[in-house]
Amino acid sequence: MKDNSQETTHFGYKTVDKAQKKSLVAGVFDSVAAKYDVMNDVMSFGIHRLWKRQTLDASGVRKGQRILDLAGGTGDLTAKFSRIVGPQGQVVLADINDSMLKVGRDKLRDMGIVGNVEYVQANAEELPFPDDHFDAITIAFGLRNVTDKDKALRSMLRVLKPGGRLLVLEFSKPEHDVLNSLYDFYSFNVLPQMGGLIANDKESYQYLAESIRMHPDQETLKQMMEDAGFEQVTYQNMTGGIVALHRGFKF
Ligand SMILES: C[S@@+](CC[C@H](N)C(=O)[O-])C[C@H]1O[C@@H](n2cnc3c(N)ncnc32)[C@H](O)[C@@H]1O
């Protein structure tokens, strides 16, 4: 029998051709872009702001540095980094999706964030930046959607300066069974309904729940980062492991 596993991947719980996933993910984010920020606040009860704050604290970013906010979407982290790096620094908000980038660009301009932010449409798997270019890279709730995660991690390593760090903020595996069951109920029963009511898009939020379950757990992602060449990889669980922040260095 022919082994098709090299050509297929997951889109939520569905098995699809690798070539198809990119456009399926694009469809999700084209559809949710306009309501993305409000959905984030509602779905997470505002807690995503704390997760992002912790990411910022772990980034060690300083004035004058060059930062890549990869899969940066509507730019929450970019906005914060822009203020920290100041006029001598630079933040690149890169995302594969034009609709998300547009919402991010408009939001940040309305906030008066201009001058040190650049917007780049790019696939995490093939970053269009020179080697050894960024002091830090963040990818928040983005890696899950990437087709070839190993390739993306290697691409991030390449564009990171020696001494630089990568922070991966992503949904992960809750540490306790009770939390896991509650979270399952919420994800598969409440979340898609909310998506239907607020964003008029139940399916995209069903994908969100499924894609979270299919994403590698804490230890697997740590190993993937090490295999890609990152060193001193550690992670910290947040909200009982619903989310984990992985950090790795390039030396
Ligand atoms: C859930 S949003 C996260 C946005 C933002 N980082 C945040 O935390 O609010 C995921 C983002 O990943 C982007 N994305 C998906 N696949 C990507 C890829 N291969 N390369 C770059 N960005 C990608 C999507 O377009 C979307 O904007």
Whether residue 92 has its Cβ less than 6 Å from ligand 1: no
Quote the CA–CA distance of 39 and 22 in Å, as a whole number: 22
HSE-up of residue 60 (Cα within 13 Å, Cβ side): 10
Residues in the chain, overall count: 251
Task: Write the pLDDT tens digit of every residue in 115-159.
Answer: 999 999 999 999 999 999 999 999 999 999 999 999 999 999 999
Ligand 1 centre and the CA of 2: distance in Å? 33
pLDDT at res. 1? 45
In this structure, are residues 116 and 90 in contact, taking their beta carbons and an 8 Å threshold?
yes
Task: Write the pLDDT tens digit of every residue in 207-242.
Answer: 889 999 889 999 999 999 999 999 999 999 999 999
Whether residue 123 has its Cβ less than 6 Å from ligand 1: yes
**pLDDT exceeds 70 at position 98:** yes
Q: Write down the architecture of domain 17-26+36-174+216-249 according to CATH.
A: 3-Layer(aba) Sandwich (3.40)
Nearest CA to ligand 1 atom 1: 141
Task: Write the pLDDT tens digit of every residue in 67-84.
Answer: 999 999 999 999 999 999
Ligand 1 centre and the CA of 174: distance in Å? 22
Q: Which atom of ligand 1 is nearest to the CA of 125?
A: 19
pLDDT at res. 118? 97
To the question of whether residue 74 is assigned a binding role by annotation, the answer is yes
pLDDT at res. 2? 45
To the question of whether residue 123 is assigned a binding role by annotation, the answer is yes
Nearest CA to ligand 1 atom 8: 140
Whether residue 25 has its Cβ less than 6 Å from ligand 1: yes
To the question of whether residue 95 is assigned a binding role by annotation, the answer is yes
Greater confidence (183 vs 92) lies with 92
pLDDT band per the 50, 70, 90 thresholds, residue 5: low
**pLDDT exceeds 60 at position 43:** yes
Quote the CA–CA distance of 192 and 148 in Å, as a whole number: 26
Test site for ligand 1: of 146, 166, 191, 211, most ligand atoms within 8 A of the Cβ: 146
Percent of the chain beyond pLDDT 90? 80
Whether residue 139 has its Cβ less than 6 Å from ligand 1: no
**pLDDT exceeds 90 at position 4:** no
Tell me, letter by letter, the H, E, C secondary structure of the chain.
CCCCCCCEEEECCEEEEHHHHHHHHHHHHHHHHHHHHHHHHHHCCCHHHHHHHHHHHHHCCCCCCEEEEECCCCCHHHHHHHHHHCCCCEEEEEECCHHHHHHHHHHHHHCCCCCCEEEEECCCCCCCCCCCCEEEEEEECCHHHCCCHHHHHHHHHHHEEEEEEEEEEEECCCCCHHHHHHHHHHHHHHHHHHHHHHHCCHHHHHHHHHHHHHCCCHHHHHHHHHHHCCEEEEEEEEHHHCEEEEEEECC
| Two structure tokens written together for 147 | 């087709």
User: 125, 222, 230: which is closest to 172 by C-alpha?
Assistant: 222
Whether residue 137 has its Cβ less than 6 Å from ligand 1: no
Domain-by-domain residue ranges, the chain? 17-26+36-174+216-249
Whether residue 146 has its Cβ less than 6 Å from ligand 1: yes
pLDDT band per the 50, 70, 90 thresholds, residue 251: very high
Please state, as a whole number, how many other Cβ atoms lie within 10 Å of the Cβ of residue 178. Answer: 9
